């Protein structure tokens, strides 16, 4: 019977929310095997002094199977 675990991570990107998601998952896969899904729980942006978006940030929960 498979057992899953959920962890929460935060990832940022200067380009887009999608890029932040992809980078976060790729980094997590360097130390976690068997990632099966991701749930994006929150999206935020950091605004620079000139009013432009400095960083896109996502908080996500990753689900993976325990061996």
- Check whether 47 has a pLDDT greater than 90: yes
What mean pLDDT do residues 45-63 have? 97
Indicate the number of domains in the chain. Answer: 1
Cβ neighbors of 3 (< 8 A, separation 6 or more) are: 65, 66
- Per-residue pLDDT band at 27 (split at 50, 70, 90): very high
- As a whole number of angstroms, the distance between CA 57 and CA 20 comes to 7
- As a whole number of angstroms, the distance between CA 44 and CA 4 comes to 28
- Check whether 14 has a pLDDT greater than 90: yes
Q: In a 3-state reduction of DSSP, which class is residue 36?
A: strand
Q: b/e for 26-37, b at 16 or more Cβ within 10 A?
A: eebeeeeeeeee
| CATH code, domain with 19 | 3.30.1660.10
Structural domain of 28: 4-65
What pLDDT is stored for residue 2 in this prediction? 85
């Amino acid at each position: 019977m498979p057992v899953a675990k959920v962890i929460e991570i935060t990832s940022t990107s200067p380009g887009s929310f999608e890029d932040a998601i992809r980078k976060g998952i790729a980094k997590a896969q360097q130390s976690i095997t068997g990632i099966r899904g991701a749930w994006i729980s929150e999206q935020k942006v950091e605004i620079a002094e000139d009013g432009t978006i400095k960083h896109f940030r996502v908080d996500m929960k990753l689900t993976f199977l325990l061996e």
